[in-house]
Structure 1
Amino acid sequence: MFMLITLSIILENPNIDVSFALQKGSGSRFEVAQRQQSKTGEDLCFELTTEVKPDKNNPHLADFRGPFIQGTPGERFIYLNIGKYAGAADEPWDRRLKIPLTGISMATANDNVHLITHVSGQGKDGTPNCATVKPFVGWKLK
């Protein structure tokens, strides 16, 4: 039996006038959801509901599934798409930011719980952050 939880991703200090969106689905046939742009550098918030159950290899850890969830058991993640991948064909960026869903215990991931994480919108070079979030602060109860 699956439980439902809500996840919020706060993208801090994103680049101005760059599109960001959640990736729904995988492979080349994905959709974008909640496409947003920061007009003044304000943080952006992406929120989704997903199913969770105990990981079959480690029942103390949570395993996620749903249209926004990527990866294999034990290595699940969410993609935040950027620029062209976010549906903005006229933007120069074609990137994705990989937000891990690892290390979340079943004690934390109770039914109807709301978890939140904060990730930087910009990389060290000042361009939109991409690849796997590092360092990743993890998920906390909202």
Structure 2
Amino acid sequence: MRTDHRANLQLILTLQSPPPGVDFAVQRGRDELVRPFLATADSVSFAITLTLGPALADDSPNFRGPFAQGTPADRFVYVNSGLSAGQTGTPWQRRAKIKLADIPIALVERAAGDPNAAIEACIEGTMKDGGPVCASVRAPQISWQVVMRSD
């Protein structure tokens, strides 16, 4: 990987078509919950920052920071919903695991260290049972793209 290993990487997690009436939060560390920066009936979006550490033995990115959960070889971000997001009076208690290794390396190289660039994950927010997204989220339920800030 050719990216500066001390670079910040901006990540936007956008849940599309989330179930109505369900709260979402991204988990920071063991138990801190971060609320969305944007929530509408159609989508819920979070903006977080990761740091890239020295590349792993297989030359893949080493995602670090308080939002990066798991071991260096298996990093992920938790998107919590319902009771897990601090909501009361709901039947839902779920966590979605967003695997950072699934981000295409070309997108990481393009966005890392650029304060005007972010990698956006577009995630289907509702499962087939009508509840909030949960478990390990993989394609086609998630897609990745670089987005640029427009001034």
TM-score (structure 2 length as normaliser): 0.80
2:135 aligns to what?
Answer: 131
Whether 1:64 and 2:63 are equivalent positions in the alignment is yes
Quick check: 1:14–1:38 contact (8 Å CA) kept in 2?
A: no
CA distance in 2, matches of 1:35, 1:46: 5
Distance 1:36 1:141, change over 3 A: closer
How many aligned positions are there? 137
Over 4 Å off, 4+ runs: 35-39
Q: Indicate the SS of the match to 1:81.
A: strand
Which consecutive unaligned segments of at least 5 residues does structure 2 have?
none
User: What is the CA deviation profile of residues 39-63 of structure 1, one whole-angstrom value per residue up to 9, with x for unaligned ones?
Assistant: 6x3111111111113432122x211
Distance 1:6 1:37, change over 3 A: closer
2:51 aligns to what?
Answer: 51
Partner letter of residue 110 of structure 1? A
2:35 aligns to what?
Answer: 34
Deviation at 1:21, TM superposition (A): 0.3
TM-score (structure 1 length as normaliser): 0.85
User: Superposed, which structure 2 residues align to 1:52-131 within 5 Å?
Assistant: 52-59=52-59, 61-104=60-103, 105=105, 107-112=109-114, 113-131=117-135
Deviation at 1:17, TM superposition (A): 1.0
Quick check: 2:69–2:75 contact (8 Å CA) kept in 1?
A: yes
Deviation at 1:74, TM superposition (A): 2.2
RMSD of Structure 2 on Structure 1 (CA): 2.1
Deviation at 1:12, TM superposition (A): 0.4
Q: Indicate the SS of the match to 2:112.
A: coil
Deviation at 1:128, TM superposition (A): 1.2
Quick check: 2:36–2:47 contact (8 Å CA) kept in 1?
A: no
Deviation at 1:123, TM superposition (A): 0.5
Q: Indicate the SS of the match to 1:10.
A: strand
Quick check: 2:10–2:119 contact (8 Å CA) kept in 1?
A: yes
Quick check: 1:20–1:36 contact (8 Å CA) kept in 2?
A: no
Distance 1:14 1:37, change over 3 A: farther
User: What is the CA deviation profile of residues 67-107 of structure 1, one whole-angstrom value per residue up to 9, with x for unaligned ones?
Assistant: 11111112111000001110113221111011110044253
Distance 1:17 1:44, change over 3 A: same
Which consecutive unaligned segments of at least 5 residues does structure 1 have?
none
Deviation at 1:109, TM superposition (A): 4.8
